[in-house]
Amino acid sequence: MGDDPGKGFGTVADWSVPTGSAGLDEQELDGVTDEDLVNDEDVEDEDVDDEDIVDDEADEVEDDDEADFSSLEEEGEVAADYIEGLLDIADLDGDIDMDVEGDRAVVSVVGATLDELVGDDGEVLEALQELTRLAVHRKTGMRARLMLDVGGFRVRRRSELAELGRSIAAEVERTGEPKKLRAMSPFERKIIHDAVAGAGLRSESEGEEPNRRVVVFPVG
């Protein structure tokens, strides 16, 4: 909006009244002028109503965003408490950081002796993340999509997998043959898919967990 509600309605001027019919023409002129005023008022009311609707919708979106952010913060806090309890039980030292990235909570554990919480290729970390999500679900009643990272493993892994995805995409483009990768976690497959798409190729996941894997296809 932002346009003047009355813009586009001209002013009636230079009316010529023939002799002997002044009363009738004045009534007609009054009728035209009154109708224009009524139309102007209607337009003003419609503009106000539209602006009110837009403002209401904007307020609702803002309220929803605040509610979503608050829910994600709650997820992070519950997850942090759960992880802190596990660290105490295992007698492990670690600092816990909480953040919200996009549409998910992120809980990171930083410490010098946390390799046992990651495992080979992050298998222990994946299991720990699922346990943490279940703990959050039991506490909040909401399905959690939080991401758990330990010792910066996921950050390093993301960089490695992005490079792998670009390398595989280049190989497939050169040979013209599809390439099937080893089984990966959903986190890992997502990074490969993004890297392949960024290279202009297509990829799909096939198989069932935990043996689900990415297949990269040549163009066409």
User: Does residue 194 carry a pLDDT above 50?
Assistant: yes
pLDDT in tens, 7-53: 443 433 343 334 343 433 444 434 433 444 334 444 334 343 444 43
Neighbours of 212 (CB within 10 A): 14
Specify the range with the lowest mean pLDDT, choosing from 41-45, 96-100, 148-152, 190-194: 41-45
Q: Does the pTM of the predicted model rise above 0.85?
A: no
Of the chain, the end-to-end C-alpha distance in Å amounts to 46
Strands 147-150 and 213-217: unpaired
214's tokens = 């990415």
User: Does residue 164 carry a pLDDT above 60?
Assistant: yes
Of 145, 54, 136, 48, nearest to 103 (Cα)?
145
Distance (Å, whole) CA 190 – CA 147: 13
